[in-house]
Amino acid sequence: MSRKPTLRRELLAARALLTSQDVGRAASLLASAALDLPELAGARTVAAYVSVGREPGTHALLDALRARGVRVLLPVLMADNDLDWAVFEGAEHLLPAGRGLLEPGGTRLGPRAVLEADAVLLPGLAVDGRGMRLGRGGGSYDRVLARLADAGAHPALIVLLYDDEVVARVPEEPHDHPVDAVVTPAGARRFPSRAS
């Protein structure tokens, strides 16, 4: 039996204890640390996501990337839990969607649009020293990562987390893919290169 559900519950319970001020301070630090990453500094297209609730905040980072002229793709959750993509055109163009998410209101580009990304910012709950990421368990980003691998695409995979979510070991399954880097409020950390 996988330890993933238990670890997810523990990590979500810890996030629930964060105040709005904690989340806001962390978001500012995350944006600064992420923008310093060479993988984002040189990116023309970045696939990202809109943080909600107590997730590590992405709003300032999305705005900063867009201000740099980066084409930012945001996910649109489809009925089968796969992700479509649309261009981020500013916070005023985000619309409420199912599961409390915010999605871009623009033209849908299709699930394969992520293949154009130079970097993919991934949500998660934890990452370990090998770069193995623990997601929320819905499988949406597992499909994205499989799509990238199947197409031979190698964008930088970066997960955004709180400092205490970098853990000793994340349970893994055969379909799990490692990431290249984690960004926390304390800074960025890279992992050994993924096999091509």
* 108 domain residue, yes or no: yes
CATH number of domain containing 77: 3.40.50.10420
Q: Are 188 and 36 in contact (CB under 8 A)?
A: yes
What is the average per-residue pLDDT within 140-166? 94
* 107 domain residue, yes or no: yes
- Taking the C-alpha atoms of residue 51 and residue 103, their distance in angstroms, rounded to an integer, is 10
Q: Which structure tokens are listed for 187? A: 């800074």
- As beta bridge partners, residue 178 has 132
- Could you tell me the pTM of the whole model? 0.93
The residue segments making up the domain with residue 20 are 4-190
How do residues 5-25 score in pLDDT, each as one tens digit? Answer: 899 999 999 999 999 999 999
How do residues 76-99 score in pLDDT, each as one tens digit? Answer: 999 999 999 999 999 899 998 887
* 89 domain residue, yes or no: yes
pLDDT at residue 147 in the model: 95
Q: Are 86 and 106 in contact (CB under 8 A)?
A: yes
Tracing tokens 């960025």 back to the chain, one arrives at: 188
- Give me the number of domains the chain comprises: 1
Taken in order 158, 163, 169, 170, the sign of the CA dihedral is negative
* 136 domain residue, yes or no: yes
Cβ neighbours of 176 (radius 10 Å): 15
- As beta bridge partners, residue 162 has none
* 45 domain residue, yes or no: yes
* 68 domain residue, yes or no: yes
pLDDT at residue 100 in the model: 80
* 195 domain residue, yes or no: no
Write the DSSP assignment of 87-116 as a string of letters: E---GGGEEE-GGG-EEE-S----GGGGGG
Query: Which positions ≥6 away from 1 have C-beta within 8 Å?
Result: none
Q: What percent of the chain has pLDDT over 90?
A: 81
* 98 domain residue, yes or no: yes
Res. 193 pLDDT band, cuts 50 70 90: low
- Taking the C-alpha atoms of residue 181 and residue 178, their distance in angstroms, rounded to an integer, is 9
